[in-house]
Amino acid sequence: MKNDYLLLTPGPLSTSETVREAMLKDWCTWDTEYNQIVQDVRERLTNLATTETDLYTAVLMQGSGSFTVESVIGTVMPKTGGKLLVCTNGAYGDRIVKMTEVLDIETVVVSTSERTPIDANVVEAQLKEDADITHVVIVHCETTTGVLNPARDVCAAAKRYGKTTIVDAMSSFGGVPIDVEEWGIDFLISSANKCIQGVPGFGFCITKRSELKACKGNARSLSLDLYDQYETMEEQNGKWRYTSPTHVVRAFHQALEELDEEGGVSARHERYVKNQQLLVQGMDRLGFATLIPLEKQSPIITSFFYPGDPAFTFQAFYQALKKKGFVIYPGKLSEVDTFRIGNIGEVYPEDIERLLSVIGDTRASSEHNRLT
């Protein structure tokens, strides 16, 4: 079945027909063949994340990406004596702060404006000042705006002070080259429906084994106990503690195969960068300016200011594009009017060119209607 439109969003995103077809078969969660697929997924994810694969493992967790973020925060932080430094410059960093409030975790926040990347020097100064901090977390690609935060630099600063590091790489892992060992990442979090190009249903944490094993007994939730999920998968050869999203796992396995066929993360990153560059250049010609300077911009999603046309409304623009086969995102900022266009998923330069043509026609039609 063909889709009616391309999802130009940061996930869920447009998937290949073969990924969708992989969900047409039913699986038993106890079946050896299915559990072997789970184990292969875990191994493949670890291989994508680092060459030091003996030091790391991957743990899968049911639910959306935020479920996995909360499982990591709630399991990694000790029940007493821990203090988390949260870096935030957008909605997803703020969501982590909210999680710590609900979980009653002592927290210190380093924040910047939504248009500005986190400053690793400010993080280091905070670590120098506050010796009680034990853990540091940062969102790599903050899809509130599309800004790419310096996760590697922040982790390096944290490691200079002996801290445990957590990176929310929800929207970047698989589409931006990352080596967790080289970057000094102890826990990296992402989701099935992002740059690997699977469908929603589970998230995953790629974690240093030694760090995870030290978390036994920390969890503040039964269902979201990351350590217990890891132990069960290890001891029962890929078995999940509770019902797993079998169809989604099989689709994700297919998506991993297709990532390999494309040439791996570096090749996918190259495609995403080309998509994003074409998009920005074309939108500039059509009178749409970007919110974030190119050097601070991720290749995942781009925020654009509304054009200088008082008759422009996002809803009318959105519906016009949807009728022509493209779905985009509203903005998330309160102080300025923006909308967002993603270019990850089963999206290619020719799709971006078609989008730009449609936007050009839509703007020309709107102008014609205004004048007449």
Q: What string of DSSP letters covers 171-239?
A: TTBTTB---HHHHT-SEEEEETTSTT---SSEEEEEEEHHHHHTTTT--S-STT-HHHHHHHHHHTTS-
- State phi, psi for 82 to the nearest 5 degrees: -105, 150
What pTM was estimated for this model as a whole?
0.95
Would you say residue 359 lies in a domain? Answer: yes
pLDDT in tens, 138-192: 999 999 899 999 999 999 999 999 999 999 999 999 999 999 999 999 999 999 9
Say whether pLDDT at 372 is over 60: no
| Residue 1 forms part of a structural domain | no
Specify whether 256 is located in the same domain as 136. Answer: yes
At residue 369, the pLDDT reads 55
- Whether 39 shows a pLDDT value over 70: the answer reads yes
Domain-embedded: residue 307 = yes
DSSP letter assigned to residue 297: B
Q: If we measure between CA atoms, which residue out of 326, 351, 327, 330 comes closest to residue 339?
A: 330
- Interval 10-26: pLDDT, tens: 889 999 999 999 999 99
Q: What is the mean pLDDT of residues 44-65?
A: 97
Based on the domain organization, do 149 and 47 belong to the same domain?
Answer: yes
Cα–Cα distance measured from residue 97 to residue 103, given in angstroms and rounded to the nearest whole number: 10
In whole angstroms, give the CA distance from residue 196 to residue 96.
23
Instruction: Summarize pLDDT for 194-238 with one digit per residue, the tens.
Output: 999 999 999 999 999 999 999 999 999 999 999 999 999 999 999
Question: Would residue 104 count as lying in a domain?
Answer: yes
CB atoms within 10 A of CB 80: 7
Q: Which residue segment(s) compose the domain that 72 sits in? A: 22-261
Q: Is the pLDDT assigned to residue 371 strictly greater than 70?
A: no
Q: Does residue 220 sit in the same domain as residue 340?
A: no
Domain shared by 123 and 144, yes or no: yes
| Co-location of 326 and 209 in the same domain | no
**Residue 35 belongs to a domain:** yes
| CB 10 within 8 Å of CB 171 | yes
Q: Which of 236, 261, 286 is the last residue of a domain?
A: 261
- Assign residue 202 the CATH number of its domain: 3.40.640.10
**Is 12 inside any structural domain?**
no
Model confidence at 122, pLDDT cuts 50, 70, 90, reads very high
Domain count along the chain: 2
Residue 47 lies in a domain: yes
**Burial class of 186 by CB neighbour count within 10 A (0 to 12, 13 to 18, 19+):** buried
